[in-house]
Every structure is written in structure tokens, then in C-alpha cells.
Amino acid sequence: MNIGTAKPSQDELAAAPHFFVNNLSIQENFSAGDFEKQALDQINALFNEHDVVVMVGGSGLFINAVCQGLDDLPKPLPGIRDQLNNLHQEKGLLYLQNELKIKDPDYYAEVDINNPQRVIRALEVYESTGKPFSYFRKDKPSNRPFHMLKIGLNTDREHLYNRINQRVDKMMEAGLLKEVQSLLPYRHYAPLLTVGYVELFDYLDGKVSFEEAIEKIKQHTRQFAKRQITWFRKDLNTVWFEPTQHADIIQFIKEKIAN
């Protein structure tokens, strides 16, 4: 999944030590809880050698796992996940999205609704407990043995959407379709139930035209970006910059560290 995940290039990987890149197989189950444990272990090890560690990412759930800890979710009832997976196959993702919108509008407003795994997980909690996924969200974050400085990057909506469209075009030029074709035997695994892959699987299945698939990737990525911004805007500790404000960001970090 090199192109579809925008994995760092070899030059980028060589510029600074990276972790959690090329470390898992598509066939391995890896939850946000797994990431919380492994990331904290790695962070603690790095702090033995460095005063500052940088975490970069896009998934709000995984960032929250590290920064404040995950919710103690109830164990789902046996068979619920299978039932929801069957509904996904029979009635499609739109049906599950509408179910989540009715049963848990708060979580629906911030989750990546184009990610079947996230939608199914939330519905699994509801069907098992009768309470929405958002009911179990943590109010009090876990204590961490380090200080955090949160920096968000955002820009004008029109410019952002144009960048997203250009990014999708470049991914196609780089060979995303060929990558998706090579992953067909693994399409039922959770990592491939994501934007950029499901749309091209639909094209390969003859459900949509090539042009429609590309437009859907762009549309779903724009929707995902909008939800990401909504998610991160709720964290009042995040300080926002334009992506081009490199000098300002570095100066801001230096001042905070000095204090």
C-alpha cells in the first residue's frame, strides 16, 4: 500500500528516523489500542535519548490514543460483527451510514463515514449495549509522562480541495490502479476498506466507470478532510498554521520549549 497511503519516499525516510512505516502486513490485525501501547513504548524509548520527539499523523483516533488514551469500550456480543459485515455486503455502506446517523448522530458527525471498519465498530457497540459509541468516550484523559505541543496545519478550503484533487491525480499517475490490482486477493482485509482502494475495486468490479471512480476518490477524500478539521478543531490546545509557515512554526516550537 505504498501509493494509496502516501507512504514517505525513500529520501524522506532517510532524512530522519521514522517508526511505524513498513512495520505491518495487510493481513495483521492492528487496532488503535495496539498503536497506543506500541507508540508509547517507542516514545518512552526515544525520550531516553532526546528531549523532543515529533509525532505526525492524520487519524484523530490514533492521535487521541497516544495523547489521552482510549475509551474502555464494552466487549461486543458474539455474532454482532458478522451480522453487520453481512449487512455491509448485502445493503452497502450507505445503509450502515444511515443506521449510524440515526443511532449515534454525535459520532456520525466526526467519524470517517467512508471507512466501513469505523462505521461497523460504532454500530457493533450500539447493538451490543443499546448505548451509542459516543456514550463511552473518555471525559478525563490519561496522564502521560511528557508534555505535548499540538500543531495543526490548515489552509483556505478552496485551496485545500484543489490540493486534494491534484494529489489524487498524481497518485493515479504514479500507478495507484496497478497497485490496487495487485492487492485484489486481499481486498477483504480492513486496511483496504479505505478511500482510494474501495473506489477502484468498484471500478474493477464494473460497478462504476474509471472516471467515476476517480471523482469518488476525490469526493471522499475531501469529505474526510472536512471531518478531520472538525475533529481537530474541538481540541482547543491545537495551535493552527498555514502549511507554508515553516519559519513561524519552528519559532513557535523553540519559544515553547524554551519556556
Per residue in 152-179, pLDDT (tens digit) is: 999 999 999 999 999 999 999 999 999 9
User: Model pTM?
Assistant: 0.79
Residues with Cβ within 8 Å of 90's Cβ and at least 6 positions away in sequence, in order, are none
**What percent of the chain has a predicted confidence (pLDDT) above 90?**
63
Containing 152, the helix (H) or strand (E) segment is strand 150-153
Q: What are phi and psi of 97, to 5 degrees?
A: -60, -45
pLDDT value, residue 112: 80
Place of cell 482502494: 197
Residues with Cβ within 8 Å of 226's Cβ and at least 6 positions away in sequence, in order, are none
Which tens digit of pLDDT belongs to each residue from 132-147? 888 877 667 788 999 9
Gyration radius of the chain's alpha carbons = 19
Average pLDDT over residues 74-98: 88
Q: Report the DSSP beta bridge partners of residue 238.
A: 150
Give the Cα separation of 223 and 196 in Å (integer).
Answer: 13
Which tens digit of pLDDT belongs to each residue from 185-198? 999 888 898 899 99
At 74, is the pLDDT very low, low, confident or very high (cuts 50, 70, 90)? Answer: confident
pLDDT value, residue 138: 63
What is the DSSP-derived secondary structure letter of residue 16?
A: S
Containing 103, the helix (H) or strand (E) segment is helix 93-103
Give the Cα separation of 218 and 114 in Å (integer).
Answer: 12
Which of these, 57, 54, 73, 63, lies nearest to 36 by C-alpha position? 63
Structural domains of the chain, ranges and CATH numbers in brackets: 1-24+155-236 (1.10.287.890), 80-136 (1.10.20.140)
Which of these, 55, 116, 108, 59, lies nearest to 84 by C-alpha position? 116
- Residue that wins the pLDDT comparison between 95 and 230: 95
At 183, is the pLDDT very low, low, confident or very high (cuts 50, 70, 90)? Answer: very high
Q: Decide if pLDDT at 247 tops 70.
A: yes
Give the Cα separation of 108 and 208 in Å (integer).
Answer: 26
At 110, is the pLDDT very low, low, confident or very high (cuts 50, 70, 90)? Answer: confident
pLDDT value, residue 73: 74
Residues with Cβ within 8 Å of 26's Cβ and at least 6 positions away in sequence, in order, are 1, 183, 186, 189, 191, 192
Mean pLDDT across the chain = 91
Place of cell 466501513: 116
pLDDT value, residue 135: 83
Amino acid (1-letter code) at residue 123: L
pLDDT value, residue 253: 94
Question: CA dist 205 to 91, 96, 181, 213, 254, Å?
Answer: 16, 21, 11, 11, 52
The greatest distance separating any two alpha carbons of the chain, rounded to the nearest whole angstrom, comes to 59
What is the DSSP-derived secondary structure letter of residue 154?
A: -
Which tens digit of pLDDT belongs to each residue from 8-45? 999 999 999 999 999 999 988 788 888 999 999 999 99
Distinct helix (H) and strand (E) counts, the chain: 12, 2
